[in-house]
Structure 1
Amino acid sequence: MSSSDYSRVERAIRFLADHAEEQPSLERVAEEVGLSPFHFQRLFQRWAGVSPKRFLQVLTLAEAKRMLAESRSLLEVSHAVGLSGPGRLHDLFLRLERMTPGEYKAQAEGLMIHWGVAETSFGPALFAALDRGLCGLAFLQDEGLDGALAELRARWPGARLERGEALIRPYAEAFEARMRHGVGQPLSLVLKGTPFQLRTWEALLRVPPGQAVSYRDLATLSGAPGAMRAVGTAVGQNPIAWLIPCHRVIQATGALGQYHWGAPRKQAILAFERARTA
C-alpha cells in the first residue's frame, strides 16, 4: 500500500471515529478522502479487513456499551450513538454481540441456561443452551465438570444455570449425527464475544473438514492479516467445540499446537476427519 493510500485510510478512520454519532454514509466518507465510493470501499476493506460500514458498526457498538454501563436508558443510548431508536440498537447488538442491549446491560442477568452432560464420539461433553440456541459445548478435561461449568459461568455472568438433560438431548443427538455422518438437524448457535472473536470464529467455519490451516492463514481468512497472536487468542477462547472447528488450526511448521480440550483429542479428531474425507 502506498503512503497516500495509508493517509487516506487513516483520515477515514479518524473521520468515522469523530463523526460516528452522525452515522455518515459511505459516500460521505469517500468524499472526505477524495475517492469514489467504489474505490474507497475496496481500499478500506484491503487495509482494515472489514468494510467501512462494519467498522462504523463496531465503533457504534463500543460507544453504546460504554453508555449502557453508565445505566442510561436504551432510548437515550440509541439516539446518542446516532441510531433512530431502540429497534436499530437492538438489531446492532444481535448482529455483533449475539445478545440484546438489555441482556448486555444486565450482564445476562435473568437469562436461563440449561446444561447437561452427554457422551460423544470423543468423550463426555458439557452442552449448554439458551432458549434460542446452543451457547456452549466443551469436552470434559482433567478439571471435569466443575471446570467446564466455571468457564460457562465466566462467559455468562448473571445468567442462571440449571441442569436439564432432557432439554439439551436434542443438541447432543444433532451433534453426534453431524460428527458421525456429516449430516443432521440445523443447529442454532448463540455466540457471545468481541467483534474480532466473532469474525475469527466465523472464519473457522469456512475451513473444510479434513483440512488444516495455520494461524497466519486463518488471520488472512478472517480479514486481519498479520494479527496471528490475536487470532490465536480468539481460537483458544472458542466456546463451542468441534462445531466451530478450532481443532483445524495448526502451527506453520505442521505441529498440531495447543488445543483447549487436549492435544490428544485434537489429534484424534483431525485423524477422524481426514479418514472420513479421504
Structure 2
Amino acid sequence: MMTDEQKHEFYQALVDKNPQYDGTFFACIKTTGIFCHATCTARKPKYENCEFVFTAEEALLAGYRPCKRCTPLTYPNSIPEEVKTLVSAVEKNPEKRWKEEDFRQLGIHSATARRKFKDIYGMTFVQYARSRRMGLAFKEILNGKKVIDQQVTFGYESSSAFNDAFTKIMGNPPKKAQIHILYANFISTPIGRMMSVTDATHVYLLEFMDRRGLEKEIETLRKKHHARILVGETNVHQQLAKELALYFEKKLTKFTVPLSLHGTPFQMKVWDQLSRIPAGETRSYRDLATKLGDPHLVRAVGNANGANQLAIIIPCHRVIQTSGELGGYGGGIERKKYLLQLEQRA
C-alpha cells in the first residue's frame, strides 16, 4: 500500500521530471485519463488530480491508457515494432478479445507477442489487452455512471437505454425476461482495491481487481444468475465494506455479511471446510482432503480453492502446502503473506 509520504515524493519527482524515478512509479492523470513516466514533458497536473501506482497493470486496470508523449511502457527498453503495432491495435479497439486469427492478420505470431510483452512490461500481451479491457469497465463503475431506476429497467423496451458495466467486454447480458440485477462497486484495502458484486440480500463476488481470471469469473457469474451487472450501492455492499475495514484494523475475524455461494457439491464442501479454519491458523491441502475422506483429493481441493469467488471471507489464503510453504494464491503470494501475518497479530 502506497503511503501519503510516497505519493508526495512521487508527485515532486513528476514536477521535477526526475529521471531516477522512471520505472519506479507511474503517474495516472485523472483529468486526461492517461498514465505517464516521472519524466513526461506534458504540463504537470495538480496533486489532487494524480494517482500513483507501482505497475503498468494497475494503471491499465484503473482505466488509464499509456501517454503518447512519454510512452511509459517503453522503459527501460526501446520498444520493438511488433509491440508498437499491438499497442496501437489495442487502443483502436480496446474492447476486443484477441484470437489467433487477429495476430495472423497483423503478421505477428502470438508467441512472439507473448514473449516481447513479457520481456518489456512484465506481463503477457493477453494480460495487457485484458487489463485495458477490464479497465474500461472498472472506470465506468468508479465514475458511478448513472443508470435508470431498477423498476424502469425491468420494463424498458430498449436495452441500450441503460448500462450494464460489462456488456462491451463480455457481450450482451441475458434477455429482459430472465433478468436479475446485480450491482458492482469497489472497496479500497491496504493491499489493493477489491471489487464486490452484490444485490439487496447477498454478496456474490469479492475479488482483487488485478486477479488473473476475474474477467472469466464475472462472465460466469452473469450467465449463472442470468444477470445484468449495473453500477450501484447496496446495503449489503456497505455492510461488507464496514466488515472489511474492521478486519484490516484487526477488530474482526468472523464475517457476518450474507453470502450467495454457488458451486458443485464438492466445491461447497471444500468452501465449508475453509470457513471452519480459525483466523490466525493454517491448514494444508492434504489436511482438507483428509477431512473430506480421501487424502488423495489434494489436487481437487486445490482446484476448488481456486474457484472461490469470495476472497478473504471464504479464507482460501489460510491453505498452505504440506511442506509448509505458502503455495499459490489468486490475489498474489505477497497478499497471502500479508493476510496470514495480519490474522496472526489480530
TM-score interval, normalised by the smaller of the two chains: 0.5 to 0.7
Cross-structure match for 1:197 = 267
- For residue 156 of structure 1, report the CA deviation from its aligned partner: 3.2
Residues 126 and 148 in structure 1, CA contact (< 8 A), matched pair in contact too: no
More helix by share: 1
- For residue 224 of structure 1, report the CA deviation from its aligned partner: 4.1
What 5-or-longer segments of structure 2 have no aligned partner?
1-174
Cross-structure match for 1:162 = 230
1:217-247 CA distances to partner (integer Å, 9 max, x unpaired)? 0112334432111110000111100010000
CA distance in 2, matches of 1:185, 1:225: 29
Computed over aligned residues only, the root mean square deviation of the Cα atoms, in angstroms, reads 2.3
State the TM-score, normalizing by the size of structure 1. 0.55
Structure 1 pair 150–189 and aligned structure 2 pair: CA distance change class (3 A): same
1:116 matched to 2:185? The reply is yes
- For residue 170 of structure 1, report the CA deviation from its aligned partner: 2.8
Paired residues in the alignment total 167
1:153 matched to 2:219? The reply is yes
Structure 1 pair 268–214 and aligned structure 2 pair: CA distance change class (3 A): same
Cross-structure match for 1:206 = 276
Cross-structure match for 2:252 = 182
1:275 matched to 2:345? The reply is yes
Residues 139 and 261 in structure 1, CA contact (< 8 A), matched pair in contact too: yes
- For residue 109 of structure 1, report the CA deviation from its aligned partner: 3.8
CA distance in 2, matches of 1:220, 1:109: 41
What 5-or-longer segments of structure 1 have no aligned partner?
1-105
Residues 177 and 184 in structure 1, CA contact (< 8 A), matched pair in contact too: no
Residues 175 and 184 in structure 1, CA contact (< 8 A), matched pair in contact too: no
CA distance in 1, matches of 2:255, 2:277: 20
Query: What letter corresponds to residue 233 of structure 1 in structure 2?
Result: N
- For residue 112 of structure 1, report the CA deviation from its aligned partner: 1.2
Alignment of 1:7-26 (within 5 A): none
The percent identity for this pair of structures is 35
Residues 133 and 188 in structure 1, CA contact (< 8 A), matched pair in contact too: yes
- For residue 132 of structure 1, report the CA deviation from its aligned partner: 2.2
Residues 198 and 234 in structure 2, CA contact (< 8 A), matched pair in contact too: no
Q: What SS does the aligned partner of 1:156 have?
A: helix
CA distance in 2, matches of 1:229, 1:183: 28
State the TM-score, normalizing by the size of structure 2. 0.45
